[in-house]
Structure 1
Amino acid sequence: MARPNDEVEALLREYADLIAITGGDAFKARAYEKAARAIGGYPADIAGLDEDGLKEIPNVGRSIADKVVEYLRTGRMAVLEERRAKIPAGVRELIAVPGLGPKKALRLYEDLHISSVQQLSAALDADALADLRGFGEKSRENIRHGIELLRRAGARVPLSTALDTAEEIVAELSRVTGCRRCACAGSLRRMRETVGDLDILVAARRSDPFMAALCELPATAEVVARGTKKTSVRTAEGLQVDLRVLPQESWGAGMQYFTGSKGHNIRTRTIAVHQGLKLSEYGLFDAGSGQSLASRTEEEVYARLGLPWIPPTLREDRGEIEAALHGELPEVVTERDIRGDLHTHTDLTDGLAPLEEMVAAASKRGYAYYAVTDHAPRLYMQRMTDEKVLAQRERLRELAGTLGRMRLLHGTELNIDPDGEVDWPAGFLAGFDVCVASVHSHFGLGRGAMTRRLVRACENPYVNIIGHPTTRLIGRRAGVDADWDEVFAACARTGTALEVNAQPDRLDLCDVDILRAREHGVKFAVNTDAHAVAHLAQLRYGVGTAQRGWLTRDDVINTWPLTRLRRFLRKGG
């Protein structure tokens, strides 16, 4: 069910990888990567665009537009298929291993005839890579860890992909005659960062029309099992979808039963047993008489168990039952609570849209404030200069009078050097409203050096937020190694917020780290790190992650009124 934009983005990224594998022009590979990102972030559906329309997208020139038009018209891209034919399938499999890369994958194939992840793992175990140039001990350890990341990901898909698919299916099934309710449950409703399968519930009198509709959806590639109570299909992307149809009167019980984690559900069923009750997807019943006591709403079910309603994102058996019993459940932050975005980019550096478009899109979201934080000069590929950033500041001031209630903040995303230093001297940094500082290089520093690096950045009086703190990319790159409790303590001590980055491949900090940092008294910023107008809508993934970390409005600085936020950004000054 991928959008044409997503399909083309994946194909262009693959083509860029294949150029790199075959030793092609690095600038050409980079051009295709940039075009892929631009098309993936383009807000409109590209299916209806001709060559001229495609060339309006940043970084898409005539040659790339021709290839995209060819794919949209024929379903194939000839140059990509030609490149694929030159590269063994095994090498293409190897480059999926985080930390390996196309050139090393090709060398493994040519020198050791390794053409699968399984063979690579066996070669590592046999120490067969030790004498291969470029595969030192640290490199081999990174590859080993990359294989583990790949295996852990398994058939799970990113939250954003699963949510897009689920919302399309729910929309289709909701149109079927007789549908009273239709919604997602399971790990997707709990907003887990990756999803193994989709649980979709329908409330209706008859199940057959819905089971048939699911099997006939264009996205359905395979029917795994079809029945009257449950039907399972698999999409073209390999995602399994399980559909269950319940009576309307059992809707609340079904949503409760199929949403919680295994641990959470064991706890609620145990509470029911101790009260002489039986809890199932059809309702909460008296174990002796079989009388139905609660089933229509989740609130009814939880209340009959002696509990308040527990937000789905908390149902992970991480203490939420105890908190509920003691009246200590947090009122978790919601998307409506977010008053502004404090980390976004424009085409002045690596964003895809001009300043005016990003600001206008933020204003339409009803924000009270909005920060533009383009990259600083030490991320050399972005070619930032003092003159450029000061000109941007002037333009922001010009725009400020046209926006009504929304206030514009001029910021920057600084680079944290290996020694903890950041771009620009103190006098220059003082001119920004907000400074996000992030690690963009030297990910392999040892634990002690990485910890000192991050702590020193926190201690900088002009650094307000540590962006995507662990630098992880889900399923592709592990987070950096640091003593995170020491970093969290430094953030709390210095008044430096930690970011919950909403990009679906980051979600950094993750929920577990948020829980730890919160114990230290850290404050957080839920930001999109948007590089395109469409990315502003990714806020919901960051909010979901924040909820899983039990964050409230008071924990999240960009839910605060601007006056309180500005006091925080002064870091006690």
Structure 2
Amino acid sequence: MTRLNDQVQELLQEYADLISITGGDAFRARSYEKAARAVGGHPEDVARLDAKGLQQIPGVGKSTAEKIAEYLATGRMSALEALRAKIPPGVREMMAVPSVGPKRALALYRDLDIASVDQLAEAVRADRLSEVAGFGERSGEKILHGIELMRQSGGRTLLDAATEQAEQIVRAISAVPGCTRCAYAGSLRRMRETVGDIDVLATAEDSEPLMTALTELPYVAEVIVRGPTKTSVRTAKGLQVDLRVVPEEDWGAALVYFTGSKAHNIKLRTMAVRAGLKLSEYGLFDAESGEKVVSATEDEVYAALGLPWIAPPLREDRGEVEAALRGELPDLVAESDLRGDLHTHTDLTDGLATLEDMIDTAAARGYSYYAVTDHAPDLVMQRMTDEKMLAQREQLRGLADRHKRMRLLHGTELNIGPDGGVDWPAEFLAGFDVCVASVHSHFGADRAAQTRRLIRACENPHVHVIGHLTTRRIGRRGPIDVDLDAVFEAAARTGTAIEINSSPQRLDLRDEDVQRAKRYGVKFSIDSDAHATGHLAYPRYGIGTAQRAWLTTEDVINTWTWQRLKKFLRKDALR
């Protein structure tokens, strides 16, 4: 069975949302929201925990644990059902529209009787929003843009959820007697930020046991089609999975074909035709005689076309074939190259785990250095003070003896204000080992203002990394309007790294923007932005973005040795 953590997280988040939308206590809503994130980030399956065990999860109190225990025992959460009965389901769906939120959704429902996203769009076009307090001239335009953004992501799954599901399926199919190979392919193998469906490829002499195993998985809700070479199912979360079983000797050609992309495959087929060959999912054939040339491995298929093997994240027809022909494919950065993480949080602010637990988990990953970067005071709800930050610094130093193989860095995530200023004066900032600066507010400022604030942050000698630069949340909030080229130029000029935020909800910057930034000479930091111990594994997704952007270890500062990174962090001295 799949872990119930994600399902429980969704229920607790819904409960928090409904508390907000029904006018309940804001502090109580935030408590359940934090508990939801805590359960989602907890490494142990909640299905194995009793009420006392649930209360050991940071942020989960007695009342929350009782609700979770009730759900585990009965499949119901009565308190949630009681709140659901008060509000139409479409109202909560409206809350997911960027720029709406709980308070506005409730106002729209109460004042205009709007109870669905479709009704909301109609009301905007009919100019009815002006009848509701708090909606200005540009509100309708922003809401329509938000609806479009939400619908564009509809039917697509975030990279982490798709990866977890695919890996479960691959493990299950690989364990079936007679299966000799199994792997996922498609856009997931290419590390796209969202996935429409999951393609799984396997080899076996007899496909029937593999197809049966797929259809009998506990999280499969529907069998769409079943056959000897392909079976398609839909999971309980609505994700389509296609399993194809091919002969062992055709594995390589099939893996190339079903990995894609379509544009990359067209380029390969064009090369094959010019060489008097024909390429398909069954192999590479002589076009005249029909004789199979190669098909067993990807390396053989590429080699027969006069190419070295091309890493899946590069297969987007962005010049990778031409680079391969010139012998200029990059030696891509890998997760194993990362020596540390420069953006993480603890329960001192909005994290879910203690400083000790976060450090212990980072040490287990084999890092050479690790930075704790809790929020600074301008993010008021985090209630940070000078005294709290200095006390954490002393606590960090006290833990250094336990982790002599990993250098502990005390940092902070600063807030980039509307004018580009950051929390704390220069003399206080000078005490940090590393400062990440990020935009957390004023997302609606115009292009010129956003560009100015980010350039000024780059020019601050105490800012080492710009975090999640565009602020986007995939499917929930679009990027801020900013002249990225101007910011990239400033980052390169000032020696400020730009983060590839590895949180699957962000993956900010996008791979296309990372490629642009690299042309300016920008350096990058691939960070987890972890708020729980489980989140420290997120860099695998940031690495996917980096690989799609053709980055090498030379481009990524947290693959460098501590001695080299330390010189980079002496930003003001290097100008």
- What TM-score comes out, normalization by structure 2 length? 0.98
Equivalent residue, structure 1, for 2:402: 402
CA–CA separation in structure 2 for the residues paired with 1:216 and 1:165 = 15
Moved more, 269-278 or 486-495: 269-278
Q: Is the 8 A contact 2:459 2:490 kept in 1?
A: yes
Counterpart code for 1:206: D
Task: Give the Cα–Cα distance (whole angstroms) in 2 for the partners of residues 56 and 233 of structure 1.
Answer: 37
Look up the SS of the partner of 2:503 in the other structure. Answer: coil
- RMSD over aligned CA atoms reads 1.2
Residue 118 of structure 1 corresponds to 118
- 1:550 Cα deviation (Å)? 1.1
Distance 2:447 2:328 in 1: 36
Matches within 5 A, 1:96-495: 96-495=96-495
1:305 is displaced (CA, Å) by 0.8
Count of aligned positions: 573
Question: Conserved in 2, the CA contact under 8 Å of 1:114 and 1:120?
Answer: yes
8 A Cα contact 2:417 2:453, kept in partner: yes
In the TM superposition, residue 359 of structure 1 has moved relative to its aligned partner by 1.0
Offset, 1:133: 2.3
Checking the alignment, whether the CA contact within 8 Å between 1:99 and 1:476 is kept in structure 2 is no
Instruction: Name 2:93's counterpart in structure 1.
Output: 93
- 2:462 touches 2:572 (CA, 8 Å); kept in 1? no
CA distance in 2 between partners of 1:547 and 1:107 (Å): 45
- Residue range with higher mean Cα deviation, 101-110 or 175-184: 101-110
Match in the other structure for 2:76: 76
Counterpart of 1:518 in structure 2 is 518
C-alpha displacement at 1:75, in angstroms?
0.6
User: 1:83 offset after TM fit, Å?
Assistant: 0.8
Map 1:5-84 onto structure 2 (within 5 A).
5-84=5-84
Pick closer, same or farther for the CA change 1:33–1:2 going to 2, 3 Å: farther
Quick one: distance in 2 between partners of 1:16 and 1:182? 41
Q: Secondary structure at the match of 2:333?
A: coil
Could you tell me how far 1:2 is from its partner in structure 2? 5.2
- CA deviation digits over 1:365-398, x for unaligned, max 9? 1111111111111111112221221222222222
Q: Give 5+ residue unaligned stretches, structure 1.
A: none
Q: 1:29/1:125 Cα in 2 relative to 1: closer, same or farther (>3 Å)?
A: same
Residue 559 (structure 2) aligns with: 559
Q: Which moved more, 1:351-360 or 1:130-139?
A: 130-139
State the AA in 2 paired with 1:281. Answer: E
Task: Encode CA deviations 1:448-486: one digit per residue, 9 max, x unaligned.
Answer: 011000000000001000011111100000111111100
Deviation at 1:572, TM superposition (A): 4.9
Q: Tell me by how many angstroms 1:215 deviates.
A: 1.0
The structural deviation recorded for 1:268 is 0.8
Distance 2:383 2:343 in 1: 19
Which residue identity lines up with residue 438 of structure 2 in the other structure?
S
> In 1, are the aligned partners of 2:107 and 2:132 still within 8 Å (CA)?
no
Aligned residue number for residue 548 of structure 1:
548
- What's the CA shift string for 1:279-335, capped at 9, x where partnerless? 111111111111111111111111111111111011111111111111111111100
Q: Is the 8 A contact 1:412 1:432 kept in 2?
A: yes
Check whether the contact 2:371–2:409 (CA below 8 A) recurs between aligned residues.
yes
Deviation track 1:17-71 (CA, whole Å, cap 9, x = no partner) reads 1111111111111111011111111111111212211111122111111101000
Equivalent residues of 1:443, 1:480 under 8 A apart: yes
Deviation at 1:161, TM superposition (A): 0.6
1:142-161: CA deviation from partner (whole Å, max 9, x where unpaired) = 21111111111120010111
1:390 & 1:92 partners in 2: Cα distance? Answer: 41
1:496 alignment counterpart: 496
C-alpha deviation, 1:125, in angstroms: 2.4
Q: Give how far 1:124 is off.
A: 2.1
Q: Which moved more, 1:84-93 or 1:189-198?
A: 84-93
Q: CA deviation at 1:126?
A: 2.7
Partner SS state of residue 69, structure 2: helix
Which amino acid in 2 is paired with 1:77? M
Q: State the alpha-carbon separation in 2 of the partners of residues 295 and 341 from structure 1.
A: 41
Amino acid at match of 2:21: I
TM superposition shift of 1:123: 2.5
Runs of 4+ residues deviating >4 angstroms? none
Answer yes or no: is the 8 Å Cα contact 2:470–2:479 preserved in 1: yes
Deviations 1:121-174 (A, max 9, x none): 222223232343222222212211111111111200101111111111111101
Q: Distance in 1 between matches of 2:68 and 2:218?
A: 22
Structure 2 vs 1, CA of residues 470 and 2 (structure 1 numbering), >3 Å: closer, same or farther? Answer: farther
Distance in 2, matches of 1:289 and 1:466, equals 58
Deviations 1:390-434 (A, max 9, x none): 222222222222213211111111111111111111111111111
Distance 2:546 2:211 in 1: 35
Give SS of 1:441's match.
coil
Whole-angstrom distance in 1 between the partners of 2:542 and 2:375: 21
Q: Is the CA contact 2:285–2:294 (under 8 Å) kept in the aligned structure 1?
A: yes
3-state SS of 2:402 partner: coil
CA–CA separation in structure 2 for the residues paired with 1:261 and 1:131: 48
d(CA) in 2 for partners of 1:69 and 1:138?
Answer: 45
Which amino acid is the alignment partner of residue 223 of structure 2?
V
**SS in structure 2 at match of 1:395:** helix
CA contact (8 A) 2:156 2:196 kept: yes
Deviates more, 1:117-126 or 1:62-71: 117-126
Instruction: Report the Cα offset of residue 119 of structure 1.
Output: 2.4
